[in-house]
């Protein structure tokens, strides 16, 4: 008599599907999609900023920034600033498009295939807009950091430094999950159901 095949829990199946899809989609993104997506990000952000590429492919970003630097002992005359220019390596720019393939993997691994297509299309548009917003926030923070460094404002520089960490290094990893959960009802119910069960087990023990 054949032994019964153990059934995997829905959460386990989701994690297995998600892990497999994430590896495959990220490999495809790195090989084929990263360049076109960077070009799209460059074009979208170029509506708000002046961005050009140097021969190595890194970005030269010009941020409009109107401020008046007060005179100091080293600079006896006040200086009017109209823009801040800085170089962004191409690898740093890639961090702002990393969240989209992660979102794709989450949605494609989620239950209810009929809802996946709608969530995939709407979520892709939302994630693309968020990636542009993160890039704009990053360059704005970088401009403020440059000004605070010139002015010697250590406290101001510390606050901006925290933002410079959260925007490129934290939010691109969190936003795909937040957008996926907000759009996909079945995935949201499954995740929160697991949280509820775990909480009940913890109280019982």
pLDDT of residue 63: 86
Read off the pLDDT of residues 67-80 as tens digits, 9 standing for 90 and up.
777 776 666 676 77
Please answer whether residues 21 and 108 qualify as being in contact, where contact means their C-beta atoms are separated by less than 8 angstroms: yes
Lowest mean pLDDT among 57-66, 114-123, 184-193: 184-193
Question: Does residue 134 fall inside a structural domain?
Answer: yes
Question: Does residue 97 fall inside a structural domain?
Answer: yes
Distance CA 99, CA 41 (A): 13
Question: Does residue 5 fall inside a structural domain?
Answer: no
pLDDT of residue 157: 64
Read off the pLDDT of residues 137-180 as tens digits, 9 standing for 90 and up.
999 888 888 777 766 665 556 777 788 889 999 999 999 999 99
- Encode 16-60 in three state secondary structure: HHHHHHHHHHHHHHHHHHHHHHHHHHHHHHCCCCEEEECCCCCEE
Query: What is the total count of domains within the chain?
Result: 1
Question: Does residue 137 fall inside a structural domain?
Answer: yes
Confidence of residue 200 (pLDDT cuts 50, 70, 90): very low
Question: Does residue 18 fall inside a structural domain?
Answer: yes
Question: Does residue 162 fall inside a structural domain?
Answer: yes
Give the pTM: 0.80
Question: Does residue 4 fall inside a structural domain?
Answer: no
Please answer whether residues 126 and 118 qualify as being in contact, where contact means their C-beta atoms are separated by less than 8 angstroms: no
Give the structural domain span for 29.
10-56+93-199
Question: Does residue 84 fall inside a structural domain?
Answer: no
| Strand extents, DSSP E, 42-154 | 50-53, 59-69, 79-88
Is the pLDDT at 127 greater than 90? The verdict is yes
């Amino acid at each position: 008599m054949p032994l019964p095949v153990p059934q995997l829990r829905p959460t386990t199946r989701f994690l297995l599907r998600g892990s497999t899809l994430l590896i495959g989609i990220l490999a495809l993104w790195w090989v084929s999609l990263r360049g076109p997506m960077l070009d799209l990000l460059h074009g979208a952000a170029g509506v708000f900023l002046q961005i050009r590429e140097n021969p190595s492919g890194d970005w030269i970003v010009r941020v409009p920034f109107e401020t008046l630097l007060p005179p100091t002992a080293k600079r006896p005359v006040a200086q009017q600033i109209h823009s801040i220019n800085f170089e962004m390596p191409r690898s740093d720019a890639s961090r702002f498009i990393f969240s989209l393939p992660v979102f794709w993997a989450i949605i494609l691994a989620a239950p209810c295939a009929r809802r996946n297509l709608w969530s995939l299309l709407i979520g892709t548009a939302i994630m693309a807009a968020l990636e542009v917003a993160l890039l704009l926030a990053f360059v704005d923070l970088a401009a403020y950091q440059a000004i605070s460094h010139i002015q010697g404002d250590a406290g101001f520089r510390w606050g901006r430094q925290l933002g410079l960490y959260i925007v490129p290094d934290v939010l691109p990893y969190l936003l795909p999950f937040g957008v996926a959960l907000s759009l996909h009802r079945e995935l949201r119910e499954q995740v929160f159901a697991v949280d509820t069960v775990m909480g009940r087990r913890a109280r019982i023990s």
